[in-house]
Amino acid sequence: MSSGELQDLYQEVVLEHSKRPRNFRVVEGANRQAAGHNPLCGDQLSVTLKLEGDVIRDIGFQGQGCAISRASASLMTGAVKDRTKAEAEALFEKVHALVTEGPESVDLEALGKLAVLSGVSEFPARVKCASLAWHTMRAALEGRDEAVSTE
């Protein structure tokens, strides 16, 4: 039982993204940014993005964190690029439902690659790791430059 849940959490794609995160950089010419912090573990992460009108033209992240937070951040940058603010927000809602309530609660197809985060729902202590990047992106989109916290 336990090792099955571990395999669901640390799926190949998650491990691969945590080891080689995509868009692990500061976006050149970024016009929005925010910092995120999980005070429980000291993880810190920053998101920079370039917003053209309502569309996220480019997005990157930097910082340190566990495999779950890095993979979630990496997958997020791929998923929201060239999406509108509203689409990115809607995606966050779906990801949040996925990691808190599990795969039965959402349309997995609509989530694409992000569906690999479904294993997090079996690990309540790790939900904050998976959602840190998303909270930080939301703060950047809302133009809140202050640090966001998972607490």
Partner 1 sequence: MSGFDVERVRRDFPILHQEVRGRPLVYLDSAATAQKPQAVIDAIVRFYQHDNANVHRGVHVLSERATEAYEGAREVVKDFLRARDSREIIFTRGTTEAINLVAQTYGRKHVGPGDEVLITQMEHHANIVPWRMLCEEKGATLRVIPVDDRGELVLDEVDALLTERTRILAVTHVSNALGTVNPVKELTRKAHAKGIPVLVDGAQSVTHFPVDVQDIGCDFYAFSGHKLFGPTGIGVLYGRLERLEPLPPYQGGGDMILSVTMEKVTYNRVPHRFEAGTQNLAGAVGLAAAIKYLEALGLDAVAEHDRALMAYATQALESVPGLRLVGTAREKAGVLSFTVEDIHPHDVGTILDREGICIRTGHHCAQPVMQHFKLPATARASLALYNTREDVDALVRGLHKVREVFG
Query: Which C-beta is closer to partner 1: that of 27 or that of 130?
Result: 130
Q: How far is the CB of 139 from partner 1 (least distance, A)?
A: 21
Using DSSP, state whether 66 is helix, strand or coil: coil
Q: What is the DSSP letter of 116?
A: G
Query: Which C-beta is closer to partner 1: that of 1 or that of 146?
Result: 1
Residues 6+ apart with CB under 8 A from 36: 44, 45, 46, 47, 63, 132, 133, 135, 136, 139, 147, 148, 149, 150
Binding of residue 151 to partner 1 (CB under 8 A): no
CB 71 within 8 A of CB 126: no
Interface residue with partner 1 among 28, 29, 125, 151 (CB under 8 A) is 125
Binding of residue 126 to partner 1 (CB under 8 A): yes
Site for partner 1 in 35-64 (CB under 8 A): 40-44, 64
Q: In what order do the strands lie in the sheet with 55-64?
A: 55-64, 43-52, 32-38, 148-149
Binding of residue 104 to partner 1 (CB under 8 A): no
Tell me which residues touch partner 1 (CB under 8 A): 1-3, 5-6, 9-10, 15, 40-44, 64-68, 123, 125-126, 129
